[in-house]
Structures are given as C-alpha cells and as structure tokens.
C-alpha cells in the first residue's frame, strides 16, 4: 500500500521522492511478512487453510451463545483451528499452543482471544462510565493496563473496543460504548485502539484490538438486542460510521461483524460492508471475524442453509468464523462445487497468518506465556489505584439541590440500599475476567475514606421483588438476590436507621446484568421495590442523596423532583466503594459529563442532542398545536448530552471567533474564558458545538466538534481555544461526498449541549 502511494505521487508530480526512513522500514517489514506468509501458504493444503479460519471456544469461560466447541484438542492437532478464546493463563494456553506448534504438520501457532471490555482483572468502570470522564489520555491508559494484564495471562487478541453509536437506552449494550455522539465516540475509539495496540504489536504487553460491532448494531429497532436495523446511507456515514472509521485509521488489526442486517443483508455476509467500504474505501488491511455464531445465524435471517451462508460470508470478506464451524464444515464442499474459489479461501487464510506474524508468534509462539508475569502485572496496587482514579473521574453529579455532597467526614450517616454493601454488582456488565469478590463495596469504601464517620447500614429493599425478573438477571450468578426478609421488614429497618442519622445516602439503581448484552429493557425506571424505599426515606425530610448505579440512562423524572442530590456512578469497577467515597466526602470534585441523553420517560426514546430540526419545530417551552411536540412532556431530555454538575460553579464569558470569516484553505480560532466562581477547585469539560444554518442536506440542530477538560482552582480563569479549519465542518452529502459547504455557522462554547447559539462565522471559498 505504501509502495503504491509513493509511485503514484512520483507519477503525478513528475519527479521522484525518496521514501522516508520510517516508510522504508515499513516496506521492509511488509516484505518480510509477505515472504513468510507466502512460504507458509505454499505449503498448506486447502483443508489447512480452511482450518485457519476457525475460531473455537473450549468452554469454561463466559459464552455469549448456546454453542460451546467440542473436541477442541483433536481439532487443533488436525490443523482445524486458527484461534481460541475463553481460555486464559500461561499454563492452560501453553498446552493448547503446544498442540498447534508441535502436533500439527506445519506448526502454525494459535491466536488467543478474549473479551476484555473495561479492564482485565483490574476492572474499570463500564465504557459508558469511562466515556463520561471525557479524558482521552485516561481512557487510553485503561486500555494499556488492560492489555498489560491480559497479555500477562497469555491473551494476544482483544474483542474490544465496542464503538457502536447508541441513542436508545432500552438497548442494554449502550453500557459498552461511548454513547450517542460520533465525534466523541471517534476520539475514544482512537484512544482505545492506541492503548491496546501501542506502537509495536510484537511487544509482549500489546495485543490486537477488534473494532466492533461492524456496523450499526447500536441502532437496533426497539432497542432489542440482535434486532434488525434500517437507515439511510447519509445517516450511516454522518452519524454511525465515524467511530469505526476512526478506529481503522488508528490501525486496528481486527474488525468484528455485527449480528444485525445492513441494507437488508446480515453484516456477516455483507460484501458492501466488509469489502467495498471497509477494505476498498477505508483501506483496512487486517482481518474480519464474525461475532459469536453470527455466521450460522444468517440461516435464521433467511439467507440459506449453512453451506450457503458460509459461502456468502467468505465471498463478502469474512476471514474467521467464531464458534459456528460453518467454514470448517462446508467450504471444501463449496470449493468442489464452484461456489467459492481457492483464491478466496487463501486470501482469508493469509489475513489470519499476517495477524500472527504481526504479533511475532512465528518467531516465538510462547512469547505471551511468561509464567512470572501474572503475579507482577495483574491486579497490582498501582493498577487498582488507577482504577479508583478513573472511577472517580467518571461520576456525574446530576443534581445538587439539597447540598448534601460533599459529606462531612464526621457525620452520622444512614447508608441504605440494596447496592450499598453488594460486591456482586460493582464490576458491571461484561466483566467476565474480573472477580466480583475482589471489589470494594460502598460501605467498605466509606469506612476506608472516613473512618471517623458514624455509618449505619440497612439494605432497605431488594434490587427487585419480581422473582422472574431476578431470574432473568441472574444468568451469570447472583446479581439481584431476593432476601428472605420481607420487603416491609427491610424498609422498617431502613427507616429506623435513617431517623437516627444526620444525613441519608441511598445507593440504588440497576444490578450489573440489568444492562449489557441480551439485557434490553422497556422500563427505564429504578425498580419499584427501590422507588418505594426512596419515597418513604424522602418523607423523613432529612438531608438526602442518591448514589445511582446503572449501565444506561434511566428515567429518574420522579427522583429529580425530590429535594435531594443525585450522583450517577455507573458500575464503577473493582475499586467502586473507595472511588465513591472519594467523591461523596469531597476528596475529589466530580467532573463527569453524560455522553447519552437521559429521557423524561421511555416514550421519548430515542432522544439525543443532535436531532434534526423539522419543518414544524416544537417550542422550547409550552405546547403549540400542529408542531412537532408531545402532548404530555417537553421534547427536551431530562438531562442532555454533555451535562454534569460540580461542587463548584463555572462561568463562561468572552465567547468569540478570531475572525468573522473562515476560508476553505484557512483557519480560525474559537475561544472562551472559563472562571471557577465557586468555593472548590474543580475540573470542567469545555465543549464546542456548531450549527450549519443552510446546507444541501438537513443539518443537525447541534454538533459537537471539539472539547477540552481543564482544571481550575477556585477563583481562577482560563481561556480555552479551538483551532478550526474547513475540514472540521465537513459532512457527507447526498452523493456521499465528504464536503464542507460555504455558509454561515452558529457556534457556542459551554459546559453542556443545552446552551444557546449566540455567535457565528462565515465559511467562504
């Protein structure tokens, strides 16, 4: 690819430019890889090539489907396996790698994959939480630590980051991504890929990143997992595809296809998606794996039998079949019948072998199996301390009307709620490599941080009283346990404790598995068992705050009307309790901002800040007939994208552009002065939004194009600047051309997306 670009440049300019030193090194590296892979492919039988396309799960870990592979040992020895996942530990992986290296004809090593979604053993907050920090360096560092720990346990390939744009909180997997915005999502996707892969995949502490789920998975209809999607190409390119593209541009080595269909063709067999777009337009040169049995599931989609869908997927550009063994069992037959070509099989095998080469596995198949590493690299005190820091930075202060936080460290506190002393729910969804019993619950954390506080605890309520709902939640273990003590008795005990306190802190919300994969909800309320408890505690009219845990935006309209503080803490990870205590006692001033809008009720969904203005736009306040409005609630969300309070206050002033005009080949600077006018030092996420007033396709009402997180001491001011060019104003038009069009642009710089436009500039030719 580099060679071609250099030759093209010399032909266009009529002169020759010598390759740079780094380009020469890359060409040399590619040449060595090509020579090695060519040598192996020349020796391989067609059956061995097909074997490289087979990814199996030996069982013992968390499976995301009903199928677990059988007879794995013999299949490896028979050269029928290219990689494994669901196995960890140098000792266990060494056994499997020995089979591949020593007991097969060509000795091709295995890829070892895993779902390392938000940390390995050192679990960080769920991704929706870390995104709320708006701290790209911190987010990148979480990926670096995850890679360090996972590779110490023998894993060299990660099924992360998930970069799906999600605007429907009914969809449980909103917990796994960065939220609703393509710009922020793109920045986080890039940071995560760079964190996992580093600058050299041959290092023992880096691993291949997998961008998922390609594509549009977060737009599943009704927010129901695995459901169909349907949208225009313009919406795809402008609003949903950018984070995948950013991850590819950052060098991601792998892509995972999604479960849904795209333009009526399941993603796993979609040639436009996996070849025309991903490879031909975006230049992706890694390999594509299916999601868990998504190849086989094309049968249920209505695309044919196993042989037909396997051939369809291969021809579309799928390289590896996860668990389903459709490639393994049908491709040879399809080749004999002329339904696929040997070149197509060879191309897919080449991509798998190239990944193994890039990891250095041909040079040393055991490079990730140093048995001294787990003890020193996994769950170190340093890693746990960083998890605590990340968690504190992810929390969002939604409401501070009661002025409860920060708490006095000598106060008499009633700590109440089913999540207040509960290890099982601290890690959050999709933490299969973490151990919940190593997590710090809230009660323990508060005692650690404020040993002189007088803390009395009562459970107060079950997470849910609905036995069937609890059973659905508890697939991976006890998350929503129903106490043998009656709800009435638990509430009575909680009220007794609360009456003797100075202040009430209620820790409430979702169990960890109420969000995540296969955890869609049509009801976004805090479960009624807990709402009853909150109502009764509020009647005591004592200073009261909610510490709210969830994997998604919830409908907390009722709670928001109460006189209390609300701190959203997501599911914070292994250091949950310590981090929560750091914030509620004021050792850290919360700085998080939500990255997915919170609805007033489920009927508003989807609601997001960048919705388009209609021909009959609704009013900001009040109701007007024959406008695009609801009869019963405002159009606006309860809490908008980018929103989050602080123990201090920030004032924005002197918002301006350096010029009234931006030329297509020029630059402009937009700036604002931010002042900390409160009584605490604090951090603020300064956000830049634009609105293209007139363009060839309807524009969003607002669009995030920049942000910066700053620290201000009380009384301190700082001017934040954003340098812009026409490149920052580009969009995909109806012909899918990436263009910037001349015209007037409104802009504002503020601490949330709900500010008003008061400034503008012109983009000119």
Active site residues: 291
User: How far is Cα 519 from Cα 509, in angstroms, rounded to an integer?
Assistant: 15
Peptide bond into 298 cis (omega under 30): no
From residue 743, give the alpha-carbon distance in Å to each of 21, 132, 740: 43, 33, 9
In this structure, which long-range contacts are made by residues 308-311, counting pairs with CB atoms below 8 Å and at least 24 apart in sequence?
309/269, 310/334, 311/339, 311/340
The sign of the torsion formed by the CA atoms of 280, 281, 285, 291 equals: negative
Distance CA 370, CA 153 (A): 8
- Sign, CA dihedral 190-195-196-199, equals positive
- Phi/psi of residue 299, each to 5°? -60, -50
**CA distances in angstroms from 183 to 130, 235, 595, 724, listed in the order given:** 16, 14, 11, 15
Per the CB < 8 A criterion, the answer to whether 113 and 55 are in contact is yes
Buried b (16+ CB within 10 A) or exposed e, 335-359: beeebbeeebbeebbbbbbbbbbbb
CA–CA separation, 652 and 290 (whole Å): 48
| Distance from C-alpha of 177 to C-alpha of 145, rounded to nearest angstrom | 18
Residue whose tokens read 């890694």: 286
Distance of alpha carbon 349 from alpha carbon 52, whole angstroms: 6
Closest CA to 116 of 165, 149, 163: 149
Distance CA 247, CA 144 (A): 16
Integer Cα distance of 638 and 169 in angstroms: 13
């Amino acid at each position: 690819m580099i060679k071609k670009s250099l030759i093209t440049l010399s032909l266009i300019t009529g002169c020759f430019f010598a390759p740079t030193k780094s380009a020469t090194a890359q060409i040399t590296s590619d040449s060595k890889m090509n020579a090695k892979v060519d040598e192996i492919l020349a020796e391989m039988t067609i059956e061995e090539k097909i074997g490289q396309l087979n990814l199996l799960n030996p069982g013992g870990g968390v499976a995301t489907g009903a199928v677990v592979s059988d007879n794995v040992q013999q299949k490896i020895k028979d050269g029928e396996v290219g990689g494994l996942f669901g196995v960890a530990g140098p000792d266990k992986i060494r056994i499997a790698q020995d089979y591949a290296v020593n007991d097969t004809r060509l000795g091709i090593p295995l890829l070892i994959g895993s779902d390392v979604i938000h940390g390995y053993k050192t679990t960080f907050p769920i991704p929706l939480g870390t995104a709320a920090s708006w701290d790209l360096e911190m987010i990148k560092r979480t990926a670096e630590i995850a890679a360090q720990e996972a590779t110490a346990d023998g894993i060299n390939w990660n099924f992360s980051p998930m970069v799906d744009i999600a605007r429907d909180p009914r969809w449980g997997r909103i917990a796994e991504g960065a939220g609703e915005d393509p710009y922020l999502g793109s920045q986080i996707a890039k940071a995560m890929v760079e964190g996992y892969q580093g600058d050299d995949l041959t290092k023992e502490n880096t691993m291949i990143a997998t961008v998922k789920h390609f594509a549009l998975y977060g737009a599943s209809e009704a927010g129901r997992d695995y459901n169909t999607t349907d949208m225009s190409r313009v919406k795809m390119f402008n609003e949903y595809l950018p984070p995948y593209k950013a991850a590819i541009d950052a060098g991601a080595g792998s892509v995972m296809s999604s479960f849904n269909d795209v333009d009526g063709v399941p993603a796993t067999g979609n040639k436009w998606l996996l070849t025309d777009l991903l490879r031909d337009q975006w230049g992706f040169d890694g390999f594509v794996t299916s999601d868990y049995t998504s190849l086989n599931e094309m049968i249920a989609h209505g695309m044919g039998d196993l042989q037909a869908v396997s051939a369809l997927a291969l021809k579309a550009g799928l390289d590896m079949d996860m668990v389903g063994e459709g490639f393994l069992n049908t491709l040879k037959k399809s080749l004999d019948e002329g339904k696929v070509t040997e070149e197509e099989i060879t191309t897919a095998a080449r991509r798998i072998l190239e990944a193994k080469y890039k990891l250095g596995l041909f040079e040393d198949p055991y490079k990730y199996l140093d048995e001294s590493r787990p003890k020193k690299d996994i769950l170190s005190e340093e890693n746990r301390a960083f998890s605590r820091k990340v968690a504190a930075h992810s929390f969002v202060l939604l409401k501070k009307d009661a002025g409860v936080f920060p708490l006095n460290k000598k106060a008499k506190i009633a700590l109440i709620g089913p999540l207040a002393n509960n290890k099982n729910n601290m890690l959050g969804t999709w933490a299969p490599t973490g151990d919940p019993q190593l997590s710090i619950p809230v009660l323990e954390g508060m005692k650690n941080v404020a040993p002189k506080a007088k803390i009395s605890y009562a459970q107060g309520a079950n997470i849910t009283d609905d036995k069937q709902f609890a059973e659905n939640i508890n697939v991976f273990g006890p998350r929503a346990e129903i106490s043998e003590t009656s709800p009435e008795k638990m509430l009575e005990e909680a009220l007794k404790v609360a009456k003797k306190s100075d202040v009430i802190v209620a820790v409430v919300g979702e169990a960890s598995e109420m969000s995540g994969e296969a955890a869609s909800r049509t009801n976004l309320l805090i479960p009624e068992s807990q709402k009853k408890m909150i109502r009764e505690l509020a009647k005591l009219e004592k200073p009261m705050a909610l510490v709210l845990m969830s994997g998604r935006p919830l409908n907390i309209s009722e709670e928001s009307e109460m006189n209390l503080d609300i701190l959203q803490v997501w599911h914070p990870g292994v250091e949950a309790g310590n981090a929560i205590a750091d914030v509620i006692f004021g050792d850290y001033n919360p700085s998080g901002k939500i990255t997915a809008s919170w609805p007033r009720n489920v009927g508003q969904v989807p609601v997001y800040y960048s919705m388009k203005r209609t021909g009959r736009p609704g009013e900001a306040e009040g109701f007007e007939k024959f406008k695009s409005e609801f009869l019963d609630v405002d159009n606006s969300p309860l809490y908008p994208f980018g929103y989050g309070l602080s123990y201090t206050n920030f004032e924005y002033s002197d918002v301006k552009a350096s010029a009234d005009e931006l030329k297509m080949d020029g630059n402009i600077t937009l700036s604002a002065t931010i002042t900390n006018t409160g009584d605490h030092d604090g951090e603020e996420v300064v956000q830049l939004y634009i609105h293209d007033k007139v363009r060839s396709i309807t524009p969003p009402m607002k669009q995030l194009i920049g942000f910066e997180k700053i620290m201000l001491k009380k009384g301190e001011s700082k001017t934040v600047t954003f340098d812009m060019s026409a490149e920052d104003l580009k969009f995909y038009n109806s012909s899918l051309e990436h263009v910037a069009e001349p015209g007037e642009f409104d802009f504002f710089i503020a601490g949330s997306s709900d500010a008003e436009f008061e400034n503008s500039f012109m983009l000119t030719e």
